[in-house]
Amino acid sequence: MEPLHVLKEREPQIHRKGEAPFSIECNKDSLAGAVSQRACVFCGSRVVLYPIADALHLVHGPIGCAVYTWDIRGALSSGPELHRLSFSTDLQEIDVIFGGEKKLYKALIELIDRHQPKAAFVYSTCIVGLIGDDMEAVCKQVEKEKSIPVLPVMSEGFKGNKRAGYEAACSAMTRLVGTGDISGISKHSINILGDFNLAGEIWLIREYFNRIGVEVVANITGDGRIEDIKRSHGAALNVVQCSGATMDLATMMKKRFGIPNIRVSYFGVEDMAEALYEVARFFKDDEMLEKARELVRMELSTLLPELQKYKTALAGKKAAIYVGGAFKAFSLVKAFRLIGMKVVMVGSQTGTREDYEELEEITDEGTIIIDDANPLELSAIIREKDVDIFVGGVKERPIAYKLGVAFCDHNHERKEMLAGFHGMLNFAREVYGSVMSPVWQFVPRRVSEEKE
C-alpha cells in the first residue's frame, strides 16, 4: 500500500483516532495549490439563500459566479420557482473600469419589473468590492422605488471561506426578520433553520412537527418565502440544523428577539427522534412529548423491518464520509451504524474544533478524522481503508468512482430525500443500490484483489 500523500503543512489537519491524543487544526484558509474541495464566500451565501423561492437572486459580477450556480440544487419549492433562474449583471471590462453601479441599478429594475419578486438579494462577487461599487446605496435606491426589500449580500468570494458566506447570508436575512406581522402565531411555534428542502425534505419535517402539534412559522430557507421570514420572529423557538449555515441568524434572533434555539439533525433515526423530543421538551408539553414518542414508535415500526434487508446485505461494509458541515457527519456516522456499516473516515470542509472533538468521540478506533481534505488525500484514504462507499458531494464523486468505490451524494445536488424516518430508508436503499451494484467486480481494485 503506498503511503498517504500529505503535504507537510496539511498534517495537523488529519487525525487518526487512537494513534495519538486528539488534536486537529481547522478553520484555516485553504492551502494555496492544494486543490481544496472548498468553495468561497459567495458559495456559502448562495447555499443559504438559494432556496428562497419567491425572491430574486441577482449575482452582481462577471458571468461565471452566476452560471455555475444555475439550478444546480435539489431544493424544491411548493410554489414559485424564481430561485431556479440564474440572474447576473454579467460585468464586462468596461464596467470594471467605470464601475458597475448603473448596470446593477438597471438590471434590478428590469428584473423586478419582469418577475415581481417579494424581495431581491444582490450578491457581490470578488471584483465588486475591488471596483468600489456601492451596492448598499444601489439596493437602497431600488428598494425605495420598487417597495420591496432589496438586500445586498456581501459575499465577495475571496473574503474568507464558505462559512463567511453563511454569515453574509444570515446578515442579509437579518434585515427581513422582524418586519412582518406576527399576530395569530401559536405559542407552540418554531422556525426551521438550516434545512434546504432537498428532494422535499422540509415538507416531511414540517409534517412531523404538525403531527406533534407544533406550528412552523418560517422555513429558513428550504421552500422559503420572504413573508414567512419577515414574521419569523413570532416563533417561540428556532430549530437549527447543520453546523453553521444558519446559526448566525439564530444567534441574532436570540439577541434581538430573545428567541431561544436548539440544534438538531434530521438525518438518522436517533437524531430525527431526538429533534422531535427536544422540541417537545422545550415546550414542556407532555402531550406533545407523548405525541412525539407515538410518532417515532409508529415510524420505526414500519421502518426497522424494512431496513433489515439492507442491513443484512451491508453488514460490515466500510464507509468514508466527507461533507461540507461537520454536523451532518455526526448523523451519518450514526446512520451507518444503524445499517451495520463501519465508518473508517470522516471529514468536513468547514468543521470547528468542537465538531471534530465530537466526531472523535463517536467514531471507532482507527477512524481517520480530516479537515479540508483534497483529492489525493481522500483517494489515499479510500485505498488504505478499502472503503466500500464514500459519502460526499459532486466534487468527491469522481474520486470515488475513478477508484471503483460506491458513492452516496449527501450534498445539495441530490434528488433523494434522506432526512427523517422515510429518508433513513431512502438512505439505506441508496447505499445498498450503490454498494451492491455488480459493477464493482469489474473495477481494477476488485479485480486485483481477486488475483491476490
Partner 1 sequence: MSKMPNYVSTTNACKLCKPLGASLAFRGIEGAVPFLHGSQGCATYMRRYIISHFNEPIDIASSSLGEKHAVYGGSANLKMGLKNVTAKYKPQLIGVATTCLTETIGDDVKMILAEYKDEFHTGIDDPLIISVSTPSYSGTHMEGFNAALKGVVEQLANGGEQNETINILPGFISAADLRYLKELLQDFGIAATVLPDYSETLDGEALNEYPLIPKGGTPLSSIRNMGRAKLTIECGRTFSGETAGSQLLKLFTVPLTRVGLPIGIRETDRFMDVVSEAAGIEIPEKYRSARGRLVDAMVDGHKYIFGKRAVVYGEEDLVVGLTAFLAEIGIKPVLCASGGKSGNMKESIANVLEGLGCEMPEVHENVDFYDIEERASDLDLDLLVGHSKGYSFARRQNIPLIRVGFPIHDRIGGQRLLHIGYHGAQQLFDTITNTIIAKKQDDSDVGYSYM
Stretch that binds partner 1, among 174-182, 212-220, 398-406, 417-425 (CB under 8 A): 398-406
Decide whether 42 or 283 has the Cβ nearer to partner 1.
42
Decide whether 21 or 444 has the Cβ nearer to partner 1.
444
439 binds partner 1 (CB under 8 A): yes
181-220 mask for partner 1 (x: CB under 8 A)? ----------------------------------------
Buried b (16+ CB within 10 A) or exposed e, 267-281: bbbbbbbbbbbbbbe
Stretch that binds partner 1, among 41-49, 183-191, 202-210, 241-249 (CB under 8 A): 41-49
Contact 192, 237 (CB under 8 A): no
Candidate list 106, 254, 256, 297; residue touching partner 1; CB under 8 A: 106
Residue 201 CA to residue 179 CA, distance in Å, equals 27
Decide whether 15 or 60 has the Cβ nearer to partner 1.
60
Q: Max alpha carbon distance in the chain (Å)?
A: 73
Candidate list 127, 218, 220, 259; residue touching partner 1; CB under 8 A: 127
Residue 278 CA to residue 281 CA, distance in Å, equals 5
Binding to partner 1 (CB under 8 A) within 56-85 occurs at 58, 61-72, 74, 76, 84-85
Specify which residues 392 forms β-bridges with.
409
262 binds partner 1 (CB under 8 A): no
* Least distance (Å) between residue 335 CB and partner 1: 18
Rounded to 5°, the CA angle 160-360-308 comes to: 110
174 binds partner 1 (CB under 8 A): no
86 binds partner 1 (CB under 8 A): yes
- Locate 383 and state its grid cell: 485505498
Residue 320 CA to residue 388 CA, distance in Å, equals 8
User: What are the DSSP calls for 171-198, one per residue?
Assistant: HHHHTTTT-S--TT--SSEEEEES---B
Candidate list 22, 80, 148, 159; residue touching partner 1; CB under 8 A: 159
- Locate 395 and state its grid cell: 466534487
Residue 236 CA to residue 115 CA, distance in Å, equals 33
* Least distance (Å) between residue 203 CB and partner 1: 13
Q: What is the CA radius of gyration of the chain?
A: 23
Binding to partner 1 (CB under 8 A) within 348-387 occurs at 375-376, 379-380, 382-383
* Least distance (Å) between residue 18 CB and partner 1: 25
Residue 8 CA to residue 383 CA, distance in Å, equals 20
Candidate list 281, 293, 353, 397; residue touching partner 1; CB under 8 A: 397
90 binds partner 1 (CB under 8 A): yes
Binding to partner 1 (CB under 8 A) within 10-29 occurs at 29
Which amino acid is it at 257? F
What are the helix (H) ranges across 198-285? 201-211, 226-230, 247-257, 269-283
Decide whether 13 or 125 has the Cβ nearer to partner 1.
125
Rounded to 5°, the CA angle 226-229-230 comes to: 85
- Size of the residue set binding partner 1 (CB under 8 A): 95
Decide whether 107 or 235 has the Cβ nearer to partner 1.
107
282 binds partner 1 (CB under 8 A): no
Candidate list 11, 110, 136, 354; residue touching partner 1; CB under 8 A: 110
DSSP state of 20: B
130 binds partner 1 (CB under 8 A): yes
Decide whether 76 or 419 has the Cβ nearer to partner 1.
76
Decide whether 292 or 406 has the Cβ nearer to partner 1.
406
Rounded to 5°, the CA angle 245-249-253 comes to: 155
